[in-house]
Each structure stands twice: as structure tokens, then as C-alpha cells.
Amino acid sequence: MSQIIRLAGALGALMMAYVTPMAAQAARAEEPLRVGMIPDAGATQVSIEEKAPLQKYLSEKLGRPVKLIIPTNYNATVEALGNGSLDIAYLGGLTYVKAHARYGAVPLVQRDIDRQFHSLFITGVGSGITKLADLKGKTFCFGDINSTSGHLIPELILHDAGLNPKTDFKGFRYTGSHPATAQAVAAGICAAGAIDESVFHALVNGGKIGKDRVKVFLKSQPFADYVWAARKDLKPDVREAFAAAFLSLKPGLDDAVLKILRGTKFERASDASYQGVAKTAKALGLE
């Protein structure tokens, strides 16, 4: 028996020697603010580098280093906010509802368009699909399973139209991000798909998706979507400084940053806006 204890003790000591300095390091001052973004538009090193102006803007405004992190999926972003490996995160409507319910995430700011956001149903120009009923027997692309405009709202619209993806479609998939949905529809991997309106317009205007290849055939009712939220125990002054940085973004002055955020104006966000999304999620069994 004593040998077991000794063995376990030795292993434990090794682990401790490894873990203890981490705790010490966590206490060090001048830690960067860790800001995460759901990978609604991809999660590579390159996509982080493309967001460099945002990171630069934030660290100037906040007067401390800012580390920008894009986790590989929506769930990981929420869990990171819950376990404290992110201080602030850019979330979708549904992910915010989950982060708030599970970990008490605090809503800070959002674009003016996020309160009245829309989801678009898109299809290939030559597909012959013009209405929801035409989707029967076809393949369909959702965005991430946790996406509001890419899954929750489209699921609701399909449900209301009497369509069940599991039984009425030839097949469906979660592409993981909005650009991926657009590309999959353009390439014909999916006959149709559901996508975030601001990403879709940015892709079309930027020439990434040809207007001659993909068309919109349905626009959703408005709903509340994206929001920047802080972890529960982030200090109020840090939260406030972060919100102020976004509220003072000005078209003309900060265009590089605004382009990354695909918006023109930011407003304070409140939890009350998300009751509709929360109710829909419950009704559809996604929460």
C-alpha cells in the first residue's frame, strides 16, 4: 500500500512542479486583455492577422496589450468565457444566450444592425429554387450548429413551413462558418443554404462570391444577433473602457476597424433583447 502512495506521490509532485508556476504567472500584472471571436468567418492564423487593425485600435484605446483569439468553434468560445481563458468575446445571439444562462456573461455593445438582424436563404442561380417548398428532396447547408442566423432562425423558418431537415431534405450539413456556406452553395455542394446577411453582402461586395452564381430567395423576420460580452467577473472599469472604445468608433476615422466588424455604428447591448432568441432556442430543442 505504501508503495502505491509513494508512486502516486512522485507522480503528483511531478505534476505540481509543472502546474504551480502557471498559477504564479497568472497573477502577474499587465496581462493582455484576451478577446475572443466566434469563428463566424473562419479561424486561421491568416484570419487573425486580417483583424490586426482591430487589435491595434483596442490596445491603443485601452492602454494595455490585447490578444485576439479565434477558437475553432462556437462552443469553445463560450466555454473559454466560462473557464476564464477569454475576458471578452464576440458572440452570436444563440451563443450569447447560452453563455449568459451558463456562465452569466455580461452583454456590452453591438452594432446597430444587430438588434434587427436578418438571415438569408441563398441558392445557386440556376437551381430553380424560388421558395421554401422547393427545398424538398434537396441538400441544404447550415452555418455552425450554434449560429443564430445560420441555424437557429433558418430552422425556425423551415419548421414553420412544415419542413423537417432530417426527413424532408436529401441531406444537410453544418459548414461551421458563413463564408463556407456561401462557398458550398456557389460550388453546388448544397442546393441551398442559410447565411448571415452582413457576411453575405460583404462577400458579394468584395467579389468573393459572384452575383451571377448565388441569389437570395428569402429574407427572415428581424431578430437580435451578435453582441460583445464580458465574462461574469471581469472588472466593471475594464468592461466600461471596452464598451467606450466601441461606442467611439467613427465612420471616416476608423474605417479599417469598422470594415472588419462589418458595421458603421455601435450601441450598448442589453440582455432583454435576447428573450425572443432564447424562447425560439427552447422551442426548437437547441437550448
Residues forming contacts to other proteins in the complex (CB under 8 A) are 1, 3-4, 7-8, 11, 14, 18-19, 22-23, 25-26, 36, 39, 41-47, 49, 69, 71-76, 78-80, 82-86, 98, 102, 139, 144-146, 171, 173-177, 179-180, 183-184, 187-189, 286-287
Helix (H) or strand (E) holding 48: helix 45-50
Residue 70, classed as helix, strand or coil, is coil
Q: Please report where in the chains the cell 486583455 appears, as a residue.
A: 33
The pair phi, psi for residue 155, each rounded to 5°, is: -60, -40
CB of 59 to other proteins, least distance (A): 19
Nearer to other proteins, 43 or 54 (CB): 43
CB of 60 to other proteins, least distance (A): 24
CB of 187 to other proteins, least distance (A): 6
DSSP letter at 221 equals P
CB of 220 to other proteins, least distance (A): 21
Q: Rounded distance, CA 175 to CA 179, Å?
A: 9
Nearer to other proteins, 227 or 245 (CB): 227
Radius of gyration from C-alpha coordinates of the chain: 21
Contact between 64 and 24 under an 8 Å Cβ cutoff? The reply is no
Helix-helix angle 178-186:197-205, to 10 degrees: 60
Nearer to other proteins, 43 or 88 (CB): 43
The pair phi, psi for residue 87, each rounded to 5°, is: -90, -40
Nearer to other proteins, 47 or 264 (CB): 47
Nearer to other proteins, 158 or 199 (CB): 199
Contact between 77 and 86 under an 8 Å Cβ cutoff? The reply is yes
CB of 254 to other proteins, least distance (A): 25
Nearer to other proteins, 189 or 238 (CB): 189
CB of 62 to other proteins, least distance (A): 20
